[in-house]
Structure 1
Amino acid sequence: MRKPKSNKLRIIHLLLLAALLLLTAKLIYAQVRGGDSVGRIEWTSMQLYRSGSNYDESYNYALRLDAKSGQMLYDCSFKAPANLNDEIWRCELESVPVTREELAPLDALIQGLPLAPPKAPEPVDENLFVCDETREIFDVSIANCKDRSVKKLTAPLESEQREELQKLFLQLYLKAKDRAPVHN
């Protein structure tokens, strides 16, 4: 017959289990961050997106690595004022190649963010009716060529970080817009 465990042994067992879980979580986080606290993240795509009822405040900025050419491609869609007369005009680019030099400021900002796998969404209350839900997305993808897997990562963005990202994407637009293919 088996003896029941004492309370002290159960507490020790639970503490050891908690320590093991914490150590495992830290190791997984270190692998995502590149192996150590100064590891470099080699991202293959990024998206900063916002949609809502106000079309003027909605935007979509995206970068993705083209597997065939090996180039980073830039897509964007947003509204901006045109010069000093404050007219609003639509800015759009699709699949415009950008250089590493042009991406350097954006990459530097990404390297400093606390990227982690996204949390599972909270369950939706069926009784709650939302007329117009503003949706925001920020994610960075890291692709592993060996096993063809992709890890989606995200970071909680403070308003200053979001504004800085938007500013960097706008600067990228200004550099890349003249290289955009002309659509007739």
Structure 2
Amino acid sequence: MTDTQPPTPDLDTIQAAIAATPGTWWNDGHEIHVGEPGILAASQWIGDTCNVELPDYGEANAAAIVTAHNALPALLARVRHLEARAASLEAERDGWAETSRNEERIWAARVAELEQQLAKYVGVEPTVRQTHDEWLRCSGLHCPNAERYAKAEERGWLSAGMGQWLCPDCRTTPAPARDGR
């Protein structure tokens, strides 16, 4: 079973049909008029919905037709407003989607950059890395790098027990004990 939708009405055609009989529509029983409501002399007869088989002779049908016709200009304006709003929201959504794609490209580039930086260290021999780490944590008092070590320790960059390491410069010369002995 297929779900069929009624065709989308052409708003310009409806607007033209409304313009064909300008003015306010009103009903007098089952008769429909356009012009000044309640004044037959200032109105034009449009038609009627007389049906002798109905208890009200079609007066409810005439009232429905008049109400629908008089509401059409406001309904058309509302539909046009909503269509414009939908187009605006679609454009905004498309803008956000493009922004999202740009952000994705930026982050992908940053991840690639960081992966390249990481790749520099992946192939490094452990002994070179270990020597570098030891140099940063040197505890030799006579070491030319001691000032750098002291600043790192003062700022809390080194954890407890790491001060026992010597840099490559200090490995060759025995370092005096820290308590001066």
Question: So what's the TM-score if we normalise by structure 1?
Answer: 0.27
User: How does the TM-score come out when normalised to structure 2?
Assistant: 0.28
Quick one: higher RCO (CA 8 Å, sep 6+), 1 or 2?
Answer: 1
Higher strand share: 1
Q: Which of the two has greater helix per residue?
A: 2
